[in-house]
Amino acid sequence: MKKELLMGTALVSTLGAASVAEAVTATMSGNHQTGLEFDSPTGGTDTNAQINDNNFTVSLSETTDGGMTISSSFKLMDEDAAPGDRDAGFTLAFTDGSKLDVLNAGNASGSHAVSIPGSAGAEGVATTSTNAAQTGLDFMTASTVQGIEYHTASDFLADGLKMSFSASTDSGAAAGATYRVDSHVAIGATYVTDLGDTALTIGGGYSAADGSKTETAATDSGGFHVGLSAVTGDLTVAVGFADGDKAGVNIASTDQIEGDVVKAGIKYVTGDLTFNVGLTTGDAKDTNINTGAGGATDDSKDITSASVSYAVASGVTAILGYTTMEASNEGASTDDGSAWYIGANMSF
Kindly report the CATH number assigned to the domain that includes residue 305: 2.40.160.10
- Report the distance separating Cα 35 and Cα 23, nearest Å: 39
pTM of the model: 0.82
Residues 6+ apart with CB under 8 A from 292: none
Mean pLDDT (10-residue bins), the chain, 348 residues? 41 45 83 93 87 89 93 72 61 95 92 96 82 90 91 95 94 71 93 95 95 66 95 98 84 75 98 97 83 73 97 96 91 85 96
Residue 31 lies in a domain: no
Residues 6+ apart with CB under 8 A from 335: 41, 42, 43, 125, 126, 127, 128, 131, 325, 327, 329
For residue 298, being part of any structural domain is answered with yes
Is 122 inside any structural domain? yes
> Distance between CA atoms of 15 and 70, rounded to whole angstroms?
11
Number of domains in the chain: 1
Question: Is 181 within the bounds of a domain?
Answer: yes
> CB neighbours of 170 closer than 8 A, spacing ≥ 6?
144, 146, 182, 183
pLDDT at res. 6 = 38
The domain of 281 spans 96-347
- Residue 152 located in a structural domain: yes
pLDDT at 216: 56
pLDDT of residue 1: 40
CA distance 167 to 173: 18
Q: Residue 324: inside a domain, yes or no?
A: yes
- Give me the pLDDT at residue 19, please: 46
For residue 194, tell me if it sits in a domain: yes
- φ/ψ (deg, to 5) at 210: -110, 145
CA dihedral 147, 31, 325, 299 (to 10 degrees): 10
Radius of gyration of the chain (CA): 22
Instruction: Evaluate whether residue 79 is within a structural domain.
Output: no
